[in-house]
Structure 1
Amino acid sequence: MLLGFLLCYGGFTALCLSMDRHHTELLGRTPSFRRRQGMRITGWLLLALSLWAAVSAAGWGLGLVQWFAVLMLSGLLLVLLLPYRPRLALSLAGVSLLASPVAAFAQY
């Protein structure tokens, strides 16, 4: 479930950065079209990988329930951090993506 959480948080942050307003606020420049598309594709890919991780760890019945719980928890964390600590939200996304291979090895 930790792997799913890390991937979901990274995916939601990538989707957040695909929007002009959040990208400008967090990184200080407006994104190009190519960067926006790349962030959007990366975000959806990370969310799909988190679904795969949850289902492979617990099966379809419990895995989907855990995945929806992880989706809500990671989305809530990002929504609460973004207005007050945007740099912390961005650095947590980087840490989560760096820690996800470790969590994958620990899971299997």
Structure 2
Amino acid sequence: MISLSLALCISAFGSLCLGMPRHFEQTFQRKSPPLLLRALRGLGWLLLGLAILPAIKALGPSVGVALWASALTIAAAGQALLLTYQPRLIMPVSLLAPLLVLPLLAV
């Protein structure tokens, strides 16, 4: 459950990054429609809100919120590094992070 929270945070920050015109152009080398930017930002905020649920379910409300804050920090730092050095990897990492965690949850 903790890994799912981190994966959702990674995807959320990827969506929030791509929801900014400058970062979208940096990643895809083209302008984006304003509606797409708004949708990406909304998806990012939704995923951030959903990321707290697995942490609270696994460890309870007090420790879960602290874990979620730690996951936010790690995910934001990782996305910032990707944006700085490999902006084209933001979308694949954001899409694959939750998918890679799903097999761990089945065990």
For the criterion TM > 0.5, the same-fold answer is yes
Match of 2:52 in 1: 51
| CA distance in structure 2 between the aligned counterparts of 1:30 and 1:103, rounded to whole angstroms | 37
Look up the match of 1:90: 91
Deviations 1:39-89 (A, max 9, x none): 011000110110111111111011011000000001011111211111223
Q: Report if aligned partners of 1:7, 1:100 keep a CA contact under 8 Å in 2.
A: no
SS in 2 for 1:81: helix
Tell me if structure 1 keeps the 8 A contact 2:55–2:65.
yes
Instruction: State the secondary structure of the residue aligned to 1:31.
Output: coil
How far the C-alpha of 1:101 sits from its partner, in A, is: 3.8
TM-score by length of 2: 0.89
How many pairs are equivalent? Answer: 106
Instruction: State whether residues 9 and 78 of structure 1, in contact with CA within 8 Å, keep that contact through their aligned partners in structure 2.
Output: yes
- Partner amino acid, structure 2, of 1:86: P
Q: Distance in 2 between matches of 1:77 and 1:8?
A: 10
Residue 77 of structure 2: aligned partner: 76
Aligned partner letter, 1:74: A
Tell me the amino acid that sits aligned with residue 17 of structure 2. C
Aligned CA RMSD, in angstroms, stands at: 1.5
User: Does 2:105 correspond to 1:65?
Assistant: no
Are the counterparts in 1 of residues 9 and 48 from structure 2 also a CA contact under 8 Å? Answer: yes
Gaps of 5+ in 1: none
CA distance in 1, matches of 2:17, 2:33: 15
